[in-house]
Amino acid sequence: MTTLTAAPSHTSHPFGNTTVLANLGVATLVEHALSRGEGHLASNGALACDTGDRTGRSPNDKFLEDTGAIHPHIDWGKVNQPMQPEHFDALHRLATAYLSRKEHLYRFDGFAGADPACRLKVSVFTEEAWHSLFAKTLFINAQPADLKDWRQDWTIINAGSMRLDDPAKYGAKGPVCIAQSLEKRTVVIIGTRYAGEMKKSIFYAMNYDLPDMKVFPMHCSCNVDRKDPANVALFFGLSGTGKTTLSADPNRDLVGDDEHGWSERGVFNMEGGCYAKCIKLSREGEPEIWNAIRFGSVLENTVVDPDTRVPDYDSAAKTENTRVTYPVSFIAHARQPSMAGHPKNVIFLTADAFGVLPPVSKLTHEQAMYYFLNGYTSKLAGTEAGVTEPQPNFSACFGGPFMPRPPMRYAEMLRDRIASHRSDVWLLNTGWTGGPYGTGSRFKLAWTRAFVTAILDGSLSRATWVKHPVFGLSIPTAVAGVPSEVLDPKNTWKDKAAYDAKVKDLAARFRTNDAKFSMSDEVRAAGPCG
């Protein structure tokens, strides 16, 4: 094992005499993880690790410190659950004391935000080497010159291996707690080793900080045409809807797969890496992601053959939410630095478990605001604790779990930008056809890619359109590479009456959900009519 050395002087920390190993290289972190039994190398060179009983995010256990300064700016409720300052401070002390008893810890220092004018400094303290490798892979690494006078904007304290014995004492619900303070600019993670909690906590921070910098934070992926830098595309959507898959295009440069900001200068990636789902991954279907999985990447909860060490991407024995993290530079055609111009096309991705929405439709600006505010999709198996099959779900701004401010604040920023830059907006359904989940089947990836190609090359804008009778969505009558009968979802259902009933059901759910928002009459009228 590599000899442990004390942290450089810039890495002051609150963990007493514990040795903190700061900003170790990839090979060293992998060696530490292997020697400590945190994981093993797969045949492709990736470090394969398990996260224990929590194989997805734990949103019910996420809390935000409620202080007078931030209280008026937060959309309090099921997503943004308040925690009293004394409880946050107690959790902070508890996690710090727990980590202070460790022989050594790991520290990563880096950035969130590829645009130097809109970035935050992040320091991540972990007890496990693989968590530090995750941070090194996912965030933007600081360079030696950056570390000379390092003062982080945000601190993550990851005590994921400990559990709360007395949750009520700390204002928590159970043994797991993710507590975040926008005032103290600190995240405390207790009881879950799922690495995605670190990623999404910093995204949450950016979603609070960036609007005050006049930057629109977005839960989306982004790519740009290799020959035409003005042809920039955004893909909004929750986990499992296709952001990473569809943005990894061999004909386009990848800007980023999940989190971006849209400033007056254009779009920039918040991260330095990608966090892709692995379930059913194949070389033929997703070659860009397949080739990115190698030494320096981290596989989460993926079944690996104990003898051959070959990953079994088809297996969901541990979870449907198998993941891989890799630097964006591992994508063959990644843009460095991860910045682009203003988007020509904005695509909303939804995985409709009802099986009634058209596979592709073009939105008016009023429809864009309506569908953005409602953020309809389906929670897919494994992405959150307790989700074992797709569930219809509304998530404001296609990122509700990560949005501290009221949704209308983000929707207004979307409205202003698509109007200023004349962006076309599309709704792309990557969910079910021929019936709901359990009866129908998911749209073929080849069809979805054909829709994306037609959007990005401009041919779909010239299509002939018909209106959906209930949702009012514009449906093309023909798209190259896709059977015309699948364009109108009703055609794919054997039982037409069952389809009509399901349409009315989903429309009613939209209307129940949109009542939460103070939208204009024009935007509300852009929703379903029945």
Is the domain of 175 the same as that of 54? yes
Report which of residues 244 and 386 the model is more confident about: 244
Is the domain of 76 the same as that of 198? yes
Is the domain of 316 the same as that of 435? no
Task: Supply the pLDDT for residue 329.
Answer: 94
36 in a domain, yes or no? yes
Q: How far is CA 481 from CA 262, 449, 450, 461, in A?
A: 32, 9, 6, 16
pLDDT in tens, 25-57: 999 999 999 999 999 999 999 999 999 999 999
The single-letter DSSP state of residue 352 is: -
Is the domain of 130 the same as that of 226? no
CB 402 within 8 A of CB 357: no
CB 367 within 8 A of CB 352: no
Please give the Cα distance from 8 to 21 (Å, whole number): 8
CB 63 within 8 A of CB 177: yes
Whether the model clears a pTM of 0.85, i.e. scores above it, the answer is yes
Residue 385: pLDDT band by 50, 70, 90 thresholds? low
482 in a domain, yes or no? yes
Task: Supply the pLDDT for residue 36.
Answer: 97
What is the percent of the chain where pLDDT is above 70?
Answer: 96
Where do runs of H (alpha helix) occur along 329-405? 365-374
Residue 330 pLDDT > 60 = yes
Is the domain of 84 the same as that of 221? no
6 in a domain, yes or no? no
User: Residue range 387-395: average pLDDT?
Assistant: 74
Task: Supply the pLDDT for residue 105.
Answer: 97
Tell how strand 311-312 and strand 474-476 pair up.
unpaired
pLDDT in tens, 422-435: 999 999 999 999 99
Residues with catalytic roles: 57, 200, 219, 239, 243-244, 258, 323
1 in a domain, yes or no? no
Cα 336 to chain centroid distance, Å, stands at: 20
Task: Supply the pLDDT for residue 258.
Answer: 94
Is the domain of 60 the same as that of 109? yes
Among candidate residues 188, 213, 238, the one where a domain is terminated: 213
Task: Supply the pLDDT for residue 380.
Answer: 62
CB 433 within 8 A of CB 357: no
User: Residue range 374-378: average pLDDT?
Assistant: 92
Task: Supply the pLDDT for residue 391.
Answer: 74
CB 262 within 8 A of CB 414: no
pLDDT in tens, 243-299: 989 998 989 999 999 999 999 999 999 999 999 999 999 999 899 999 999 999 999
Residue 11 pLDDT > 70 = no
Is the domain of 315 the same as that of 184? no
Residue 4 pLDDT > 60 = no
Residue 349 pLDDT > 80 = yes
8 in a domain, yes or no? no
Number of domains in the chain: 3
Is the domain of 193 the same as that of 309? no
Indicate the Cα dihedral angle 398, 404, 408, 409, nearest 10°.
-110
Task: Supply the pLDDT for residue 378.
Answer: 81
Work out the angle at residue 445's Cα, subtended by the Cα atoms of residues 494 and 276, and round it to the nearest 5 degrees.
130
Residue span of the structural domain in which 423 resides: 216-270+338-524
DSSP 263-295: ETTEEEES-SEEEEE-TT--TTT-HHHHHH-SB
9 in a domain, yes or no? no
CB 324 within 8 A of CB 39: no
Please give the Cα distance from 382 to 401 (Å, whole number): 15
